[in-house]
Chain A
């Protein structure tokens, strides 16, 4: 401050030194606002700054495109056809001559060309090798990724439908209804979800149906709890009161006023549900009570690969890497979205 006050006594300021601005510029000079951003734009702007989240988003999009785009080429029928001739071949990528990717496998410390040893015709390539039945591992991994993504999608669906509506109803109604609904959640969430899955598996046969049902029963409770807590706060906001006074129906209030304001919680919580659902499917298939052969999922591949890990490590490594990348991407994107939508938690 003091610096500014020290005026040069010699300075002579005459009126000519000042010039009036044209009318429009005068207004502009007063303006200090940045372009206004909507909530989503603002979150997107913050998300873009987070390198990890952007890369993860990109990886997830690529995985979704590859997994679902492959449907016309890789389906159940092509995957169950076994070709014993091609069994247990390591990866061979055309034009690549690095041990491990050129059809050679380390056996007793020496790299042996498995393609030559098994008289596989020249020009046959398996980018990620084959499994013990001669299936292309790359195809099975893509199919398995699709299964994981479908499980993620299903979990998201139940989170968004059951979880959100249950939470809103519970929070909105309050009183006795809320009390009963919360006790129900309490009971559901104190049964380990593993137990629910096992019970489902026993009644229905192991497979997608039981996994999806188990997710439907157990996955939405956290979402419902968080939505309820937030709804309780939103309920007493002026704009909700205004809508009520104007006679808007509760359903309309929920859709128009509550859901948009709950969107950040919904998005963040969904991003936490997805990796746990993916893990759950892989876990169940790995111990052999989820999806089982001849169906394919990343868990099944890991289980197959684990048996031969000592001799054919690639059969475990590739699905493991894909699964880990998928999980890491969803976790990083989830963290990024949390920071983007909820700047308060950002440090």
Chain B
């Protein structure tokens, strides 16, 4: 277990190092200048600016400085956004994104489990068909389309919920739904398939023979066993939530990382792009490692060290 962990953490570090390196050198390859009004500046001004941002040093030194800073959590200074340090920019915005992401994940998984179980129990009835159709639609309708529709019809037309901005819980409801529908549909399909499998197994037959109620059978026996494989989906969900956050935060003008990322891409703000890129990669790598470990603990049949396949 320890050896396996060490190996995984090593690969994690290697991945992040590669991402950092690739990002850095791609940024250097980028055409254009970080200063939005360079033609108006005198050579001396450019010189001073370059010095301030460390752009006057040779590339390899910039690279080492960048890596060194990264280790201390220092991701440089943003070229835009009033010269704030990138780490500060991220720190002030991560809360909203994290809250939204976690809420969406909980919303999607919770309702996905409920819908999936209902479909599995009522297998091959109209309920099952309805859930299947809904989950296909949920999977197919892009979240940004859904977000715009929700914003217009629920917030603007009905006026029940705030249209945009970030205030209290009520502000988070629509973005959470828009973000969470994808994971919800996926979970529902996944749980349904798994549960149909489990419901056909011998121990469910035994539970039924013992005279347990339907609820007890489903809750205690079927659901618990079909939940385990769901853990493997957390990684892909994280990716889809990160991707989704970029567009959802934009639509609902939520001050989060995703919105920041889009803004920094369109304004050539390299340090911020690099910072958020690293954050996304680190987040994903950590989530994948964590789910693998949890999976190994919950399901002892999966041997963590077993890598011979």
Q: Which of B243, B266, B288 has the most CB of A within 10 A?
A: B243
Q: Can you list, as one digit per residue, whether each of B1-36 has a CB less than 8 Å from chain A (1) or not (0)?
A: 000000000011011001100110011011000000
Asked if B140 and A195 make an inter-chain contact with CB atoms under 8 angstroms apart, the answer reads no
Q: Chain A's nearest CB lies how many Å from the CB of B83? A: 21
Q: Does B67 contact A (CB under 8 A)?
A: no
Q: Can you list, as one digit per residue, whether each of A13-26 has a CB less than 8 Å from chain B (1) or not (0)?
A: 00000000000000
Asked if A331 and B243 make an inter-chain contact with CB atoms under 8 angstroms apart, the answer reads no
Q: Does B88 contact A (CB under 8 A)?
A: no
Instruction: Give the residues in chain B near A187, CB-CB below 8 Å.
Output: 11, 14-15, 18
Q: Does B239 contact A (CB under 8 A)?
A: yes
Given A183-B11, A287-B246: A202 touches B265 (CB 8 Å cut-off): yes
Our pick among B12, B22, B243, B266 for the contact of A199 (Cβ within 8 Å) is: B22
Asked if B145 and A194 make an inter-chain contact with CB atoms under 8 angstroms apart, the answer reads no
Our pick among A195, A279, A289 for the contact of B277 (Cβ within 8 Å) is: A195
Instruction: Give the residues in chain B near A335, CB-CB below 8 Å.
Output: 136
Q: In A146-194, which residues have CB < 8 Å from any B CB? A: 183, 186-187, 190-194
Asked if B285 and A288 make an inter-chain contact with CB atoms under 8 angstroms apart, the answer reads no
Asked if B142 and A323 make an inter-chain contact with CB atoms under 8 angstroms apart, the answer reads yes
- Inter-chain CA distance A306–B12, complex, in Å, is 40
Instruction: Give the residues in chain A near B193, CB-CB below 8 Å.
Output: 345, 347
- Inter-chain CA distance A183–B156, complex, in Å, is 49
- Inter-chain CA distance A323–B141, complex, in Å, is 8
Given A187-B14, A199-B26, A203-B26: A286 touches B144 (CB 8 Å cut-off): yes
Q: Which of B142, B247, B250 has the most CB of A within 10 A?
A: B142
Smallest CB-CB separation from A313: which chain B residue?
Answer: B152
- Inter-chain CA distance A186–B11, complex, in Å, is 9
Q: Chain A's nearest CB lies how many Å from the CB of B38? A: 18
Q: Does B196 contact A (CB under 8 A)?
A: yes
Asked if A309 and B152 make an inter-chain contact with CB atoms under 8 angstroms apart, the answer reads yes
Asked if B136 and A309 make an inter-chain contact with CB atoms under 8 angstroms apart, the answer reads no
Q: Chain A's nearest CB lies how many Å from the CB of B3? A: 16
Q: Does A282 contact B (CB under 8 A)?
A: yes
Q: Chain A's nearest CB lies how many Å from the CB of B41? A: 23
Q: Chain B's nearest CB lies how many Å from the CB of A279? A: 6
Asked if B15 and A193 make an inter-chain contact with CB atoms under 8 angstroms apart, the answer reads no
Majority secondary structure, A binding face: helix
Asked if A279 and B142 make an inter-chain contact with CB atoms under 8 angstroms apart, the answer reads yes
Smallest CB-CB separation from A275: which chain B residue?
Answer: B140
Q: Does B94 contact A (CB under 8 A)?
A: no
Instruction: Give the residues in chain A near B251, CB-CB below 8 Å.
Output: 306
Q: Does A320 contact B (CB under 8 A)?
A: yes
Asked if B144 and A194 make an inter-chain contact with CB atoms under 8 angstroms apart, the answer reads no
Q: Does A327 contact B (CB under 8 A)?
A: yes
Instruction: Give the residues in chain B near A229, CB-CB below 8 Å.
Output: 309
Given A192-B280, A289-B266, A302-B145: A198 touches B273 (CB 8 Å cut-off): yes
Our pick among A289, A327, A347 for the contact of B196 (Cβ within 8 Å) is: A347
Q: Which of B140, B156, B265 has the most CB of A within 10 A?
A: B140
Q: Can you list, as one digit per residue, whether each of B271-291 has a CB less than 8 Å from chain A (1) or not (0)?
A: 001000100110011001000
Q: Does B123 contact A (CB under 8 A)?
A: yes
Smallest CB-CB separation from A179: which chain B residue?
Answer: B307
Q: Chain A's nearest CB lies how many Å from the CB of B182? A: 10
Asked if B29 and A203 make an inter-chain contact with CB atoms under 8 angstroms apart, the answer reads yes
- Inter-chain CA distance A306–B146, complex, in Å, is 11
Our pick among A194, A201, A331 for the contact of B139 (Cβ within 8 Å) is: A331
Asked if B243 and A324 make an inter-chain contact with CB atoms under 8 angstroms apart, the answer reads no
Our pick among A287, A323, A345 for the contact of B247 (Cβ within 8 Å) is: A287
Q: Does A43 contact B (CB under 8 A)?
A: no
Instruction: Give the residues in chain A near B123, CB-CB below 8 Å.
Output: 347
- Inter-chain CA distance A199–B19, complex, in Å, is 10
Our pick among A183, A190, A302 for the contact of B285 (Cβ within 8 Å) is: A190
Asked if A289 and B262 make an inter-chain contact with CB atoms under 8 angstroms apart, the answer reads yes
Asked if B140 and A331 make an inter-chain contact with CB atoms under 8 angstroms apart, the answer reads yes
Given A186-B11, A191-B15, A347-B193: A320 touches B145 (CB 8 Å cut-off): yes
Smallest CB-CB separation from B148: which chain A residue?
Answer: A306
Q: Does A271 contact B (CB under 8 A)?
A: no
- Inter-chain CA distance A190–B278, complex, in Å, is 12
Q: Does B305 contact A (CB under 8 A)?
A: no
Instruction: Give the residues in chain B near A203, CB-CB below 8 Å.
Output: 26, 29-30
Q: Does B242 contact A (CB under 8 A)?
A: yes
Q: Which of B30, B145, B156, B285 has the most CB of A within 10 A?
A: B145
Q: Chain A's nearest CB lies how many Å from the CB of B17? A: 10
Q: Does B59 contact A (CB under 8 A)?
A: no
Asked if A287 and B145 make an inter-chain contact with CB atoms under 8 angstroms apart, the answer reads no
Instruction: Give the residues in chain B near A323, CB-CB below 8 Å.
Output: 142, 145
Asked if B27 and A202 make an inter-chain contact with CB atoms under 8 angstroms apart, the answer reads yes
Q: Does A55 contact B (CB under 8 A)?
A: no
Interface residues of A (CB under 8 A from B): 183, 186-187, 190-195, 198-199, 201-203, 229, 232, 275, 279, 282-283, 286-289, 302, 306, 309-310, 313, 316, 320, 323-324, 327-328, 331-332, 335, 345, 347
Closest 9 CB pairs of A and B: A327-B140, A328-B140, A320-B145, A194-B243, A187-B15, A190-B285, A195-B277, A192-B280, A199-B26
27 contacts between A and B (CB under 8 A): A186-B11, A190-B12, A191-B15, A191-B281, A192-B242, A192-B243, A194-B243, A195-B280, A201-B265, A202-B273, A203-B26, A203-B29, A229-B309, A279-B142, A286-B247, A287-B247, A289-B265, A310-B156, A324-B141, A327-B141, A327-B142, A328-B140, A331-B140, A332-B136, A345-B193, A347-B193, A347-B196
Given A191-B284, A306-B251, 11 more pairs with CB closer than 8 A: A190-B281, A190-B285, A190-B288, A192-B280, A283-B142, A283-B247, A323-B145, A327-B140, A328-B140, A332-B136, A347-B123
